[in-house]
A and B are shown apart, each in its own frame.
Chain A
């Protein structure tokens, strides 16, 4: 059993998929002892995946130009791309904003929210610019593996990584394939 280098990024999502990843609990230790190696992830707080990473996991939809750059870099550096969760696979909840013009969206988010007093729309150049439309990962880059679910169960993530570790292409079915 060889090593399996894994990196992940967190785009437009709620981090629920990464929570589900951690929800593997002691099975994560099992996977690591079998050869799973985690490099750049939001959990390890490393931003850039190593060259030659085996699987790049994407959580969240592609909503800003930064996300677009990040997933493209991921594609360059990883052999396989895994879209994790409904947002990365289908676009998910963030696509709801596709109906709303971006200025209205920002105004609602930063100024007219009921709990906001003297709000201001952030303008820093360091912040990513919204794309006109939120996209699923496969609308931007080629995606090899899909694990839908909101969030996908820890069992599904465990199954996929274990199959990959053992050199098989994971195919989800039954209880592991859920869209909710």
Chain B
């Protein structure tokens, strides 16, 4: 389309059609105050702070598209007076007193007050008491601080796809509600926390990060989440000069997740209180005693000759490469690695898919970000959804078709008439595999069980049950070693968490974990992602990569 000519503050400019006035002004470097406008969300024009004058009429710059012959003025007395009035109205009615608000110092409403030089209120405030909803485990919702910008509502639906938040009533009675006005903690909220990330005021806040520090007091570290194989981008706020994380935001610039995070990435990783393994434990006739790293290396040297290694998908590529170097081809995976049907689409393709089939995975619970990608298409009425599951699946209630695993053939009858279907699966039984691979209109996305399953696959590490006199076990999730034929082997376990299984081991070594470790891994699309080290370990834990490169050098000397 041809560029169109408009006037901005008296100067003629050529702009491409399809842009909003706000985007044009931004490109021209003209500052326009905004509150409800937030780039990743669709503009709504609910706060009305971005008013500009076009041929004598006030318009909200964020929602009005440019059109020929526009004569935009951003600094007339009329515009400035209107914006000041709007800001005064935003401060009215509810409690916008900064001195006892948690977010003071990083509140967008407060910043606007400072920008406008607002030094008193023209309208009454604090007239009515609104409820404070603290029923949610992680999120605090204080309606007294709300300016009804509806960023949370839009983020919850447009981006996160949950459609939990909404609004009720009108005018000054308008309230942000969850579901049909139930407490947030009792609603269908899946705790992705995006609402708290986008809230411009102290209305929706993260309980854990309250009073831990401001953004300006934090170092921002961009990393990728390694809890599940999606690998969402994280924006981690670590308190400057301290060893703790204030909060975690979804990284809007992440190619994988584009701002999404789930409960696990945003909250559970910070609430991790599982018992950790500290130090080195070596078993002798009297039980475990504390060991040191020299003794451990000596012991490893004496045992390494006829040893094999078991690994799980929590290890990073660098660690796996070193294990491969030490143990050559005698490295096995504790858990299955091979996808039953290989993936042939990426996560980006989910945003254009028109029919989803979800099999054997509750996306709300286990792969939250993918759940969001599917739900925002399905609930946005842009795609259909079929859920095939043997047990309860929380996606079933929004699905167009629900089938029990046993009725896979009935599902096939529906699927074969569709143009293209995207099958998202974790486990397939034999029959499902047969039926689905016979569909010629199906694309597949395999959900690996562990973070770096794809990395194990790429390195050719296979899931085999092999026995040897000495077995090295590296991993986080050790439930699976029960099924390995290693009862009589000498077992050396490197793991971060305490577990029933490690009591059977002869040597236990605590390793770093979570935000204490760094490395790269392959996500489920096969993208190499990096996880950054944020915290110093508080336990006596070794860094596996450093330790392995150390013994790798020493063992070569022995051989």
Contact = CB atoms under 8 A, between A and B. Distances in A.
A172 interface: yes
B119 A148 contact: yes
A99 to B, nearest CB: 5
B117 A179 contact: no
A143 B120 contact: yes
Interface string B50-77: 0000000000000000000000000000
Interface string A139-172: 1000100111010000000000000000000011
Contacts of A91: 97, 125-126
B97 A90 contact: yes
B104 interface: yes
B99 A89 contact: no
Contact of B114 (A136, A150, A177): A177
B117 A90 contact: no
Interface string A71-105: 00000000000010010011111010011000000
Contacts, number: 54
B490 to A, nearest CB: 62
- Name, among A89, A90, A148, the residue most crowded by chain B CB atoms within 10 Å (CB to CB): A90
A172 B98 contact: no
A173 interface: yes
A27 to B, nearest CB: 22
Contacts of B98: 86, 150, 179-180
A91 B91 CA distance: 13
A180 B101 CA distance: 9
Contacts of B390: none
A86 B99 contact: yes
Interface string B372-416: 000000000000000000000000000000000000000000000
B121 interface: yes
Given A91-B125, A91-B126, A95-B126, A180 B120 contact: no
B8 to A, nearest CB: 26
Contacts of B271: none
Nearest to B98: A179
A146 B110 contact: no
B114 A98 contact: no
A177 B117 contact: yes
Contacts of A15: none
A62 to B, nearest CB: 14
Contacts of B120: 83, 89-90, 136, 138, 143, 146, 148
Contact of A146 (B114, B119, B125, B126): B119
Contact of B105 (A98, A136, A148, A180): A180
A171 B105 CA distance: 21
A179 B113 contact: yes
A20 to B, nearest CB: 13
Given A150-B99, A177-B114, A179-B110, A90 B104 contact: no
Contacts of A143: 120
Given A177-B114, A179-B110, A180-B105, A92 B97 contact: yes
Given A146-B119, A146-B120, A179-B110, A93 B126 contact: no
Nearest to B91: A90
Nearest to A137: B120
B218 to A, nearest CB: 19
Contacts of A171: 117
Nearest to B127: A98
A93 B104 contact: no
B129 interface: yes
Interface in B105-120: 105, 110, 113-114, 117, 119-120
A33 B119 CA distance: 29
Interface in A22-55: none
Contact of A86 (B97, B105, B114, B126): B97
B125 A92 contact: no
B110 to A, nearest CB: 6
Nearest to B122: A138
Nearest to A177: B114
A150 B100 CA distance: 10
A177 B114 CA distance: 7
Given A86-B99, A180-B104, A180-B105, A99 B129 contact: yes
B129 A90 contact: no
20 contacts: A83-B120, A90-B97, A90-B120, A91-B97, A91-B125, A91-B126, A92-B97, A93-B97, A93-B99, A98-B126, A99-B129, A136-B121, A138-B120, A148-B119, A171-B117, A172-B119, A173-B117, A177-B114, A178-B114, A180-B98
Q: Which 7 A-B pairs have the closest CB atoms?
A: A179-B98, A150-B99, A146-B119, A146-B120, A180-B104, A99-B129, A180-B98
